[in-house]
Amino acid sequence: MNMNPWTRHAMLVLAALTMLLSGCTTYVTTQVTAFSEWTGSDATRTYAFTREPDQRNNLELTTYERIVANELATHAFRQVDSAQARYLVGLSYGIRSDMVTVAEPVYYNPWPAPYWGRPFDPWGPWGPFPTAYVNQSYPIFTHLLGVRITERATGKEVYHVTARNSGAESSLVRAMPYLARSALADFPLGNGVVRTVKIPLDKNAGASNETAVPAAAASGPAAASSAKVAQ
- Tell me phi and psi for residue 222, to 5 degrees: -145, 145
Whether the predicted pLDDT of 213 surpasses 50:
no
Computed over every residue of the chain, the mean pLDDT equals: 77
Per-residue pLDDT tens digits for 98-134: 888 888 887 665 555 555 455 555 544 455 566 678 8
pLDDT of residue 14: 39
Per this entry, what is the length of the chain? Answer: 231
- Measure Cα distances from 3 to 11, 49, 121 in Å: 10, 65, 17
How far apart (Å, rounded) are the C-alpha atoms in residues 37 and 190? 8
- Measure Cα distances from 68 to 19, 134, 147, 161, 186 in Å: 37, 43, 9, 12, 14
pLDDT of residue 111: 57
Confidence class for position 15, pLDDT limits 50, 70, 90? very low
Q: Given this structure, which CATH class describes domain 25-99+138-214?
A: alpha beta
Q: What is the mean pLDDT of residues 69-98?
A: 96
Give me the sheet containing 129-151, strands edge to edge.
Answer: 78-79, 46-49, 87-108, 129-151, 157-167, 27-36, 193-200, 213-214
Per-residue pLDDT tens digits for 38-77: 988 788 899 999 998 888 889 999 999 999 999 999 999 9
Whether the predicted pLDDT of 150 surpasses 80:
yes
Strands 193-200 and 27-36: antiparallel
Confidence class for position 6, pLDDT limits 50, 70, 90? very low
